[in-house]
Structure 1
Amino acid sequence: MMPSYLAFLRGINVGGKHKLPMQELIAILESLGCTNVKTYIQSGNAAFDCKQRNRGKLAAEITAAIEANKGFAPLVLLLEQHQLEAIVAANPFPAAQDDPKSLHFFFLTAPAKKPDLAALEKLTAADESFLLAGNLFYLHAPSGIGRSKLAEKVDRHLGVATTARNWRTVSKMLELAGK
């Protein structure tokens, strides 16, 4: 059985830069042997099956194919369906699920070796909460991520690149992966 993957691309279709229509992303993924490709909204979310079992190699192939086709190389973070299911099950802020735009999942590209959690604590608004757990940074920001000083500094203080999605997007991606 082929693994079911979820791809989260960073920085595409934002502010008119790095345009990648989802139909083109589907074609790129299919050209790499991916099947059952489905996308969600225009911010670079895809669910698909692929016989390639090496996630790092597949992510690199996707990045290279996008660069060859579009002239830019986005960060591509891949998870298997069971990994995203575990991340959702471990959500430390289950009450926040009722407000899908307030709960955010920052997917780390690598473990944070020396995260500056004290600096992040100083940036945390009174109504915000966060937890770093492995390769995931959970953020509950009831006043919105757009106003969060913490959200804009996560990468800097973790020392690793991330890509973030809200609860609604993560839930929808699991739904797509479940086919």
Structure 2
Amino acid sequence: MATYLAFLRAINLGATRKFPKDAIVSATEAAGFSGVATHINTGNVRLETAMRSRARIEAALEESYLAAQGFEVPTIVLTPAELRAVVEEAARLAPDHAGRHYVSLLKVEPGAAVVAALEARSTPDERVHVAGRGVHLVLGESYHLAALSNAVVEKHLGVATNRNLTVLRALVQKWC
């Protein structure tokens, strides 16, 4: 059995997209996965499976989540090694960063041309750096006014879900 980490996009936002942790665990187990655990109620899931295809795992989870909640839940799956690499890249990229560091996790690794176009949007106050399926948004203290966001990432690179670096570091310590 291999361990994977699933990141659910756009849950627990507003009145119509509620997906409590217990329901996430139940739906994940109903899809045939074991060793299921969650971390905070923002759609971070650890699971075990004999499956080896990330696309098949994502599809099985998305189908089960739709059946359980009645709305689509785009899901991005990483291996523990992939998540460790994302967090290590963050340390290399901005070791002394005093502002905010968010990471958009991508469903599909982007091509070089779209990466270059997105990275060209960086400014001295807001930087974007793409490494594999991790898009690092290094923002200043006025991060809530930033021009760079997960919505911008998705517009250029496709389906993504965003986490702050603190959460990703906690997941690496807890699950990797």
Q: Normalised by the size of structure 1, how large is the TM-score?
A: 0.85
> What is the SS of the residue equivalent to 2:110?
coil
1:45 corresponds to: 44
2:160 corresponds to: 162
Letter in 2 for 1:139: L
1:93 corresponds to: 94
Distance across 1 between alignment mates of 2:23 and 2:75: 15
Q: Percent of aligned positions with the same letter in both sequences?
A: 24
Q: CA deviation digits over 1:56-80, x for unaligned, max 9?
A: 1011011001111111111100001
Distance across 1 between alignment mates of 2:146 and 2:4: 30
CA contact (8 A) 2:28 2:65 kept: no
> What is the SS of the residue equivalent to 1:7?
strand
Letter in 1 for 2:46: A
2:110 corresponds to: 112
1:1-179 equivalent positions in 2, closer than 5 A: 2-91=1-90, 92-96=93-97, 102-113=100-111, 114-115=113-114, 117-118=116-117, 121-122=120-121, 124-151=122-149, 152-156=151-155, 158-178=156-176
CA contact (8 A) 1:111 1:160 kept: no
Give the superposition deviation at 1:171: 1.2
CA contact (8 A) 1:38 1:176 kept: no
Structure 1 pair 144–27 and aligned structure 2 pair: CA distance change class (3 A):
farther
Mean CA deviation greater in 132-141 or 113-122: 113-122
Please report the RMSD computed on the Cα atoms of aligned residues, expressed in angstroms. Answer: 2.1
Distance across 1 between alignment mates of 2:22 and 2:15: 17
Letter in 1 for 2:74: L
Give the superposition deviation at 1:17: 3.0
Q: CA deviation digits over 1:90-118, x for unaligned, max 9?
A: 2212223xx5x711111111122341745
Letter in 1 for 2:114: P
Unaligned runs of 5+ in 1: none
Q: Normalised by the size of structure 2, how large is the TM-score?
A: 0.86
Unaligned runs of 5+ in 2: none
Letter in 1 for 2:171: M
